[in-house]
């Protein structure tokens, strides 16, 4: 059945601009963080990860920043393309959690051509 829940935050950007998606995580003991991209009707797709001993990691067109002091993650996408339109989730893993992911709320990114 249909659930009443939170609406996803949305971010709308122009094609070619840079996008910044933010995420607040919940547990200061988390030591591994992952960003996932989820397109409509599909499962999450791994984008980039970062461990707690780092504060920045770069991939192809993406950069993840980690600020452990304020428990904040961000995902920067350079030169955003229409194919980047999706929902983006951050996820944290606790060191004693057996690999369980704790997902954030998610942000819907919409890229205008």
Partner 1 sequence: GAVVSQHPSWVICKSGTSVKIECRSLDFQATTMFWYRQFPKQSLMLMATSNEGSKATYEQGVEKDKFLINHASLTLSTLTVTSAHPEDSSFYICSATSGGGNQPQHFGDGTRLSIL
Residue 82 tokens, joined: 């229409």
Kindly state the smallest distance separating residue 110's Cβ from partner 1, in Å: 14
Size of residue set near partner 1 by CB under 8 A = 31
On the 0-12 / 13-18 / 19+ scale of CB atoms within 10 A, 47 is: buried
62 binds partner 1 (CB under 8 A): no
On the 0-12 / 13-18 / 19+ scale of CB atoms within 10 A, 56 is: exposed
Query: Which of 29, 103, 110, 112 contacts partner 1 by CB under 8 A?
Result: 103
**Do residues 75 and 64 touch, judged by C-beta distance below 8 A?**
yes
**Do residues 65 and 74 touch, judged by C-beta distance below 8 A?**
yes
Kindly state the smallest distance separating residue 1's Cβ from partner 1, in Å: 5
7 binds partner 1 (CB under 8 A): yes
Residues 83-102 that bind partner 1 (CB under 8 A): 89, 93-95, 97-102
Q: Which residues bind partner 1 (CB under 8 A)?
A: 1-3, 5-8, 32, 34, 36, 41-46, 49, 89, 93-95, 97-106
């Amino acid at each position: 059945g249909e659930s009443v829940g939170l609406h996803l935050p949305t971010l709308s950007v122009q094609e070619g601009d840079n996008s910044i998606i933010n995420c607040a995580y919940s547990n200061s003991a988390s030591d591994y963080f992952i960003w996932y991209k989820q397109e409509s009707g599909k499962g999450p797709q791994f984008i980039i990860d970062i461990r707690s001993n780092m504060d920045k990691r770069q991939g192809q067109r993406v950069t993840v920043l980690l600020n452990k002091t304020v428990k904040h993650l961000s995902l920067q996408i350079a030169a955003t393309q229409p194919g980047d339109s999706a929902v983006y989730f951050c996820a944290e893993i606790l060191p004693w959690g057996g690999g369980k992911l704790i997902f954030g709320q998610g942000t819907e990114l919409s890229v205008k051509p």
